[in-house]
Chains A and B, each alone.
Chain A
Amino acid sequence: MSASTPDAGGDVVSAVLVVIEHDRGVLATASLEALTAARALAGQLGAEVEALTIGEAADALVDDVARYGAARTHQAHDPLLGDYGPEAWGEVVAQAVRALAPTVVLACGTDRGNEVMAQAAARLDVPFAANATEFRPNGTFEMTRVRWGGSLLEIATLDGETKLVTVAHHAVDAVPGDAPGAPEGVALAVDLDPSLARTVVVDRIEREAGVTLATAPVVVGGGRGVGSAEAFAPLQELALELGGVVGCSRAVTNNGWRNHTDQVGQTGTRIAPDVYFACGISGAIQHWVGAMASKNIIAINTDQQANMVTKAGYAVIADLHEMIPAITAEIRRRRAG
């Protein structure tokens, strides 16, 4: 079946094609995870890793992509590809699949990665599996994939001549290839209907630089136990003291106490700070899944049986309204002394 790229000897080698995500030419580092996963997968399949970049701005990524093991990078150019557009990008992937007939197409399981692959799968009328963590490709092409945002794993099989899969973000550590070859970019001819412009980004307000919830070294998280919007002030103060930010549970956003941008969890942000203070948060699975990558968790809760307390590395059984100011005061005392 899907054999594609002539190797040096003229034999035909099947390919694992990696769709490289970038933003106006800036590489999404999650793509390096997909390339790393692709190398392992290609090894199991006796295939080669190739890459696809979309838009002229991404041509310069050929070096990075080669370092992570792509034998060659197919480069698609079109006036429509000046900025991100899910339908245009999905159509490019679909045309690449038709032209190159890869065995597997991988992308990273980010918002854009999943969206582009879904668009490509719809156009090709083939199945697509989002957020795989492991592959057992020989035989039925079995995978492990994430359900419930990571609270549950599914063993699944994927049928179809070309397999479209995204690799769950953070499931694989990005590692450069052992013996990367010379960067090689080859033009991929694409023919895009002008109507695809209807979903290309028309404007963007740049984000202000600064610590974000996803990258903060310290997160002081509050749940329903905080009780009100105003009562977050001491959490904010502690966060400031430690160069961190405030996070919260869905109970808090639902009550309108904090903006959803502060929400940690399955439908919020995944955090991975050095320390996560989980204050007045029961530790529902959908919250936990967003917090579990934290290096240390200190739970503050009045209920010793709370799931957050039993799962955290450290716990204090106390009223958060007394406890948080006491911690801030103790930090200031030691710093002063």
Chain B
Amino acid sequence: MRVLVCVKRVPAPGSKINITADGQQVDTASLGFTMSPHEECAVEAGAQLVEQHGGEATVLTLGSVAAEEQVRYAVSVGMQNGVVLPITDDEWDPQRTAEAITAAVRELETADGPFDLILFGNESADSGGFQVGVRVAYALGRAMVNGAKGLTVTDGTAHVEREADAGRETYELPMPAVVGVKEGINLPRYPTMKGRLASKKAHVTTIEPAGSVGGLAKVSLQPPPERKSETILLGTGPDAAAAVVDVLEEIGVL
């Protein structure tokens, strides 16, 4: 089977997200980059499916040329091919991103045949638009469910499980299909030495992205209101247990 996984390069902030002086971007000075945990799990799901059923898995990203780092990482943990759709802007809005990814999928499928499954993250880590995968699926005329916490494939059907408030739901999607994956579906592997070597050697394809600007526009970024509380130090070492339990009594949870 053929699987495509879409991931987005995002900064990995630590204790705080700093914003550039012009209020337009996350200040990434001294930050590493990563992808959403949901997308890491989508990569793992794609790798496992190809290991079980044969075939190959491709990872695709639309982002700065530096996003090749995330593509190579995905190859090191089980993808076979990488595709970068390079942009010079900080990011593209969700409609434009979806249009470009859809066009790239069509190009890749024309060359090498259809993808049985296209996997997305449930939502991107940074912009959290909850829509790129849905838009791509609709444009391609394919069934799509988001939030998958379980995914298996049997002859032509993708069985998806997801958590709802009332319980664990099952969906059965005719393939080719599109699935949005949530963290918890699996435990992503770490790169092996062999994987690292494969990722260095892998050929990463470039596709020039095309898409028209959509209707959701970022004006600026702001930090959320800070809930500043003075920290009350209850003590050092196990002797502080009495002070802790005093607090519990005060709060009324005992």
Q: B236–A121 contact, CB under 8 A?
A: no
- Residues of B contacting A314 in the complex (Cβ-Cβ under 8 angstroms): 231-234, 244, 247
**Nearest residue, chain B, Cβ from A277:** B244
A126-B215, A148-B17, A311-B231 are contacts. A267–B38 as well, Cβ < 8 Å?
yes
- Residues of A contacting B241 in the complex (Cβ-Cβ under 8 angstroms): 323, 326-327, 329-330
Q: B146–A111 contact, CB under 8 A?
A: yes
Within 8 A of A (CB), among B214-254: 214-224, 227, 229, 231-238, 240-245, 247-249, 251-254
Interface 1/0 per residue, A299-327 and B, CB below 8 Å: 10000000101111111111100110011
A86-B146, A199-B145, A331-B245 are contacts. A23–B165 as well, Cβ < 8 Å?
yes
A250 to B34, CA, bound (A): 15
- Residues of B contacting A292 in the complex (Cβ-Cβ under 8 angstroms): 227
B63 beta carbon closer than 8 Å to chain A: no
Mostly, the A contact residues are mixed
B54 beta carbon closer than 8 Å to chain A: no
Stretch from A36-44, A204-212, A222-230 at the B interface: A204-212
Within 8 A of B (CB), among A242-284: 242, 250, 253-254, 256, 259-261, 263, 266-268, 274-275, 282-284
Within 8 A of A (CB), among B33-74: 36-38
Interface 1/0 per residue, B123-167 and A, CB below 8 Å: 101111111001101110001111100000000000000101111
Stretch from A46-54, A67-75, A112-120, A184-192 at the B interface: A112-120
Q: B215–A159 contact, CB under 8 A?
A: yes
**Nearest residue, chain A, Cβ from B132:** A118
Within 8 A of A (CB), among B186-226: 187-188, 214-224
Among B37, B187, B237, chain A packs the most CB atoms within 10 A around the CB of B37
B109 beta carbon closer than 8 Å to chain A: no
- Residues of B contacting A203 in the complex (Cβ-Cβ under 8 angstroms): 169-170
- Residues of A contacting B82 in the complex (Cβ-Cβ under 8 angstroms): none
A129 beta carbon closer than 8 Å to chain B: yes
Q: B14–A284 contact, CB under 8 A?
A: yes
**Nearest residue, chain B, Cβ from A166:** B130
**Using a CB–CB distance below 8 Å, which chain B residues touch chain A?**
13-17, 19, 26, 36-38, 93-95, 98, 123, 125-131, 134-135, 137-139, 143-147, 162, 164-174, 182-184, 187-188, 214-224, 227, 229, 231-238, 240-245, 247-249, 251-254
5 additional contacts, CB 8 Å, given A144-B222, A285-B14, A316-B235? A122-B138, A127-B95, A129-B129, A148-B13, A299-B231
What are 11 A-B pairs at a CB distance below 8 A?
A: A24-B166, A84-B169, A118-B134, A146-B128, A148-B17, A148-B128, A159-B215, A204-B166, A242-B253, A254-B187, A267-B182
